[in-house]
């Protein structure tokens, strides 16, 4: 019985971390970090199988960190594209985007388009992400006036943690 419960626990944990695993954003700068995230399939041919944050951008205040385990981030709308004909807006609570959903299970976090803000004033902007994502290539590290922004992953116990750090 213990073995069965342990196996079920591991299976449920694997479904809890869609998009290839949790996304952690650390903002160690003096400015606010605004970002729009993208998740995609790195194995599907073509560049149409993706999910990108449409509304609203995420704001990580100066000196703050956030962690997301799925697309179900309160107040967000995501553009979902599964074919070359365009993208469909869906809330993060849509069944296909929830942990274990059809889209969620086949995407990984691939990119952060960002802009720094200070007291409401827009500052430096750019993008970082997985260099294996060739549909919208961005570096994994970018230097700005406000600081450096980097994208990297750490795999532990079978879970891949994706980090975006501004410092």
The pLDDT, as a whole number, for residue 46 is 84
Q: Return the ∠ at Cα 130 (arms to 129 and 136), rounded to 5°.
A: 70
pLDDT at 95: 94
pLDDT at site 135: 92
What is the pLDDT at residue 19? 60
Residues of the chain with pLDDT under 50: 1-18
46 neighbors 133 (Cβ within 8 angstroms): no
Encoded tokens for 130: 């997985």
- Who's near 97: CB < 8 A, 6+ residues apart? 51, 70, 71, 72, 78, 80, 90, 91, 103, 104
| Structural contact between residues 27 and 34, judged by C-beta atoms closer than 8 angstroms | no
Q: What is the pLDDT of residue 99?
A: 86
């Amino acid at each position: 019985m213990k073995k069965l419960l342990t196996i079920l626990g591991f299976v449920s944990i694997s479904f809890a971390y869609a998009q290839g695993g949790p996304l952690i954003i650390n903002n160690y700068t003096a400015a606010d970090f605004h970002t729009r995230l993208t998740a995609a399939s790195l194995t599907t041919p073509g560049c149409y199988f993706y999910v990108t944050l449409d509304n609203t951008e995420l704001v990580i205040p100066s000196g703050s960190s956030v962690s997301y385990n799925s697309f179900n981030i309160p107040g967000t709308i995501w553009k979902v594209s599964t074919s070359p004909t365009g993208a469909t807006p869906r809330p993060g609570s849509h069944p296909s985007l929830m942990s274990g959903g059809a889209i969620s299970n086949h995407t990984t976090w691939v990119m952060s388009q960002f802009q720094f803000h200070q007291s409401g004033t827009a500052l430096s902007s750019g993008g970082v992400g997985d260099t294996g994502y060739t549909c919208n290539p961005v570096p994994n590290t970018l230097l700005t006036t406000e600081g450096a922004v980097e994208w990297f992953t750490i795999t532990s116990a079978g879970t891949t943690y994706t980090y975006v750090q501004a410092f």
